[in-house]
Amino acid sequence: MNAILTKALYTLISLFVITNYGLLLGGTMARVRAKVQGRIGQPVWQPYLDILKNNFKRTGIYHGVMFYLGPVFRLAGGLGTYLFIPAVYGSAVFSNFSFSGDLLLVMYFIFFGQLGMALGAGQSGHPYSPLGVSRGLAQMTAFEVPFALAVIAVASQHQTLSITELVAAQQGGILNWVAFTNPLAMIAGMISFLGMTMGNPFSVVIAPQEIPIGPPTEMQSSFLGMLQTNRAIFQGAKLVLFMNLFFGGATNIVSMVVKTFLIYLYTVVVGASFPRFRTDQSIRFFLGVPTLIGIAAVVIQML
């Protein structure tokens, strides 16, 4: 019984830390982007204010049960992704619920939130919401291909589908990281990560100038507050996952912060340098060179 309570407490601490880290990271990167454009930019704590503001709205329009459940599914997707990834290797508090085969579950959870959101957005009755969802799902299906190939390459390299074991296999020096032992898988994975974060070349799904704001067009007030909170958790979870897969994981919280910060910075640098793809262009892009690199990584492992 005590063990369960301790685990519950650790989970809450872990969630609290990743939520705040995700929010602060989002604020910091908005500021980095502003510097690139020669602006001062929003305060680092702006994401907190936006969430508070949205939760303090006095009215909210709802469109039915599925509309309520959409953000809940999205949050479940974010929490599910994070809770099965060990954030800090060997730490009791941040090891979460990692178990053998969790890599497959995490890949499923990354997709799950978007599907839940599709149901909620569909019931809002706004024509732009399903349009945004279909664009999001199309792009997601495309970047899943190089990502899945990278994961297959890494899993076959270390003969395991457990993220903890993958991290364990990469310990003992920088040259043991998958980034160096299997660079092709890392390149395919990191290109698909650009699509996963929906940063600039692949930001057409949630771009305000295209179809207004995509799937959450009708989401307002506390619905939007919930989605924004999930965004921070989900972003943190994806950063931790890629750190674990390709960059040797982290053995303490400082190295976790440094590595995830740099991985995020890479997407921001790419986003600041390249213009936005249309959906069909981004699908062609992901199914082209990144997929070939992923296939090459798998083939080299199989040889």
Q: What residue ranges bind another protein (CB under 8 A)?
A: 30, 34, 37-43, 46, 49-50, 52-53, 56-61, 208-209, 212-213, 216-221, 224
Nearest approach in angstroms of CB 30 to another protein is 8
- Is the CB of residue 204 less than 8 Å from the CB of residue 283? no
Nearest approach in angstroms of CB 99 to another protein is 39
Nearest approach in angstroms of CB 47 to another protein is 9
Q: Given the complex with another protein, which of 164 and 228 has the nearer CB atom?
A: 228
**Spatial separation of the C-alpha atoms in residues 34 and 49, rounded to whole Å:** 18
Q: Given the complex with another protein, which of 2 and 209 has the nearer CB atom?
A: 209
**Spatial separation of the C-alpha atoms in residues 165 and 249, rounded to whole Å:** 11
Nearest approach in angstroms of CB 107 to another protein is 31
Nearest approach in angstroms of CB 211 to another protein is 9
Amino acid letter, 226: M
Nearest approach in angstroms of CB 295 to another protein is 39
- Is the CB of residue 259 less than 8 Å from the CB of residue 243? yes
Q: What is residue 160's three-state secondary structure?
A: coil
What is the chain's Cα-based Rg? 19
Q: Given the complex with another protein, which of 172 and 208 has the nearer CB atom?
A: 208
Q: Given the complex with another protein, which of 46 and 134 has the nearer CB atom?
A: 46
Q: Given the complex with another protein, which of 130 and 212 has the nearer CB atom?
A: 212
DSSP character string of 25-43: HHHHHHHHHHHHTT---S-
Q: Given the complex with another protein, which of 149 and 219 has the nearer CB atom?
A: 219
**Spatial separation of the C-alpha atoms in residues 114 and 120, rounded to whole Å:** 10
How wide is the angle at C-alpha 62 spanned by C-alphas 57 and 64, nearest 5°?
155
Through-space distance between the first and last CA atoms of the chain, rounded to whole angstroms: 49
